[in-house]
Structure 1
Amino acid sequence: MSEENTRYDASQIQALEGWEAVRKRPGMYVGSTSERGLRQMVFEVADRAVNEVLAGRAASVDITLTPDGGVCVADDGPGVPIDETEGAGGPGLEALLTRIQVGAGTRGRYDVTLDFCGVGPGVVNALSRRMTAEVRREGVLWVQEYARGVAATLLTKVGTATGSGTTITFWPDADIFGSAEFSFDGLEERFRELAFLNQGLEISLTDLRRSDEPRSVQLRFPGGTRDFVDFLGGHTAAPAPMDTIAFEREDPRMEGVMEVAFRWCSCPEKRVQSFANSRPTVGGTHVVGFRDGVVAAVTAYAREQGLLTPMDPDFDTDRIGAGLTAVVSVKLDRPKFGGSMRGVLGNSEVRECVGQAVQDHLGRWLKEDPERAAAVIDQIVQSARRD
């Protein structure tokens, strides 16, 4: 190879400025240019609206897939501040939609991050051929249009407004995403999770892309994680030997609150879904603590009732997992995530807190309902013997 081919100096460095960098490497900001990237764009826009509801400033979020390939995200909050001098604790409209956020960062227990990118709606604007923003604030309707991340019109007062709120609509740029389409089912799955994990949250998702087959779901679950477990258990026709155990407990040792629900059904599958600050996790100290608590409670009860002989070993996590459906959610002031996708919770104190709470609640249930307790223990013992 010649010296000319191997030479590398400053003249070969390409400097990209502004939104050019985002449009050149979109996968770095939204994950991909496939359906997954489109889904992330919806999350980046809906993030602010969802947190308006959780903060008590709005009642609901409405998301619509429009017939012309766009996405409309609307909320009934106070409306995004028009400029940064209003003192509303956040950027003004144009700043929100034309600047990249540094990242998701670490939010408190009452804030939701819909996904792990956290780059904000400005990136969505840059990757869209068009974006429109309507703000209904203090009786005035404001409108502004953007094209590929840049304001195409001035922020304009167009009339009076009934109520308040913000509506942002964007149309992904086909030059970047090609023929990729939004998945209604993919969006529904994540928004359904959020509604289960946050009892005050109401989200509607509507698909108007096919006039002959519109779809719409209303997502609100006052029962929280209990409803979540019942939903997961609804995928099997196998009977459940026990009711769903569900509880919420705040523990200052972990600077947060836990919400746990679980039950056994007469089927071999195990479904344990875990979350930290409403983010899906693949494991971590909250999951280990849950398993510790279940194993301790079931083993102690089985020995008290003579269902295990002195020679029998304690149950382990594989044995007690047969037929178990559970949702383990913790919301922490200072969560610590690990793993390449920040999907593993690392707060060490969470394990003991969750483990003790689960052991207390399950141990109490086993003693209060001995008939169903025996059915659960028998299922676990039979599973162990089959193995």
Structure 2
Amino acid sequence: MSGEGLRYDAADIEVLDGWEVVRKRPGMWVGSTGERGLHQMVFDVVGRAVSAVLAMGGGCVDVTLTPDGGVRVVDDGMAVPFEGAGDGSVLGLEALLTSLRAGPEPDGRRIALVGHFSVGLFIVNALSSRLTAEVRCGGVRRVQEHARGVALARPAVVGPTRTSGTTVAFWPDAEIFETTRCSFAVLAERFRQVAFLNRGLEISLTDERRAGGARRVRFRFPERVRDFVAALNAETGAALEPDVIAFEREDPRMAGTMEVALMWGGSREERLLSFANSRLTREGGTHVDGFHDGVAAAVTAWARSRGLLTAQDAGPGADRIGEGLTAVVSVKLDRPEFLGPTRGLLGGAEVRACVSQAVREHLGTWFEERPDRAAAIVDRIIRHLHRQ
């Protein structure tokens, strides 16, 4: 075969930059051009708002699905000025919206990862037919309009304000997405999870698209993961058990905090949800392994101290303690190590060791303080072990 027809040089290279890169292959940035990609856009904007609220110690994020297909996200958190810091140490909102090189916002224990991954506001802007950003800061409201990733004008002062925060409203581009209609149920469930996991956070979701009138849900959970486990147990139809075991601990060895809640109920199945920096870790990881290690160690130690197991008997492993167990394991790390292409698996050997020790110590103390309940729980596990 002659090579003359296969010549390839610089003239054949297509160079794309900025919003063109994103709009050329949108699925590469948000996962799909279907509903999943649409939700990722919403989660990215909401994640920025939640992180801004958490930086202030708490507050509100209000999400509205508008009748014309838009999504409006309002927060009362720390506002990011359009211009950012004068020394360039902090990117301004305009740069985050219009520069691909600005990248996604930073990770860390104080950043809530609401979506499956984080791509940044620029991606949302590039894949929207229209986007409006409003910043309320220093007593002034300023607004900037965008179309398909391009700013139409400089930020403009539109009036005074007594509040602080940010509003981002965007309209997913119908030329790109197969549907521009978000699922109320999918968004509500994810916002509910995020509210369970973060102290002082309130999230509301309003759907104005319904012909029969708007519907609204509001999520705020003062007891956080304790409330989460009680809600999961209630979903099984079982009577609410009074003994939700919960604790929170910071451990510098893993550069982060953990929050754990668990209970044993009447179900035969284990139901465990795990999170890292508010992201659902569907494949588990070292925080889940550490939880199982700690529960098994606490059960084994208590059983041996009461003569239910001899020194020669093997203790129950992680696969033997799950009957009737409902739990939530949440860690927030300065440097989370996610594994795999979907980032649904948490790594880090130090996380496993820290969570294991904390669970073993806290559950062991709980057993000692409530011997009657401990006896019922451990006896059930040991009988299950002997049936194997």
Q: TM-score, normalised by structure 1?
A: 0.92
Q: Which amino acid aligns with 2:134?
A: E
CA distance in 2, matches of 1:91, 1:333: 20
What does 1:88-237 correspond to in 2, within 5 Å? 90-100=90-100, 103-104=103-104, 107-237=107-237
The worse-fitting range, judged by mean Cα deviation, of 21-30 and 132-141 is 132-141
Report SS of the residue matched to 1:60: strand
Name the CA shift for 1:312/1:210 in 2 (closer, same or farther; >3 Å): same
Give CA deviations for 1:80-120 in whole Å, capped at 9, x if unaligned.
31323557963333222111255547623222222353221
Equivalent pair of 1:195/1:221 in contact (CA under 8 Å): yes
Q: CA RMSD in A?
A: 2.4
Q: Which amino acid aligns with 1:270?
A: E
1:307, distance to aligned residue in structure 2 (A): 2.5
- Count of aligned pairs: 387
CA distance in 2, matches of 1:307, 1:85: 63
Report SS of the residue matched to 2:330: strand
Report SS of the residue matched to 1:163: coil
CA distance in 2, matches of 1:170, 1:365: 49
Equivalent pair of 1:133/1:167 in contact (CA under 8 Å): yes
Identity %: 58
| Structure-2 residue corresponding to 1:308 | 309
| Structure-2 residue corresponding to 1:269 | 269
Give CA deviations for 1:157-205 in whole Å, capped at 9, x if unaligned.
2222342322111101101003342111211222222211111111111
Give CA deviations for 1:45-99 in whole Å, capped at 9, x if unaligned.
2222111111117621111000110000111235331323557963333222111
Q: Which amino acid aligns with 1:299?
A: T
| Structure-2 residue corresponding to 1:293 | 294
CA distance in 2, matches of 1:67, 1:308: 63
CA distance in 1, matches of 2:105, 2:212: 43
Q: Which amino acid aligns with 1:254?
A: M
CA distance in 2, matches of 1:368, 1:154: 63
Name the CA shift for 1:134/1:263 in 2 (closer, same or farther; >3 Å): same
Report SS of the residue matched to 2:235: coil
Report SS of the residue matched to 1:273: strand
| Structure-2 residue corresponding to 1:336 | 337
Q: TM-score, normalised by structure 2?
A: 0.92
Name the CA shift for 1:263/1:103 in 2 (closer, same or farther; >3 Å): farther
The worse-fitting range, judged by mean Cα deviation, of 303-312 and 193-202 is 303-312
Q: Which runs of 5+ in 1 are unaligned?
A: none
1:316, distance to aligned residue in structure 2 (A): 1.3
What does 1:10-29 correspond to in 2, within 5 Å? 10-29=10-29
| Structure-2 residue corresponding to 1:379 | 380
CA distance in 1, matches of 2:230, 2:58: 28
Q: Which amino acid aligns with 1:156?
A: A
| Structure-2 residue corresponding to 1:363 | 364
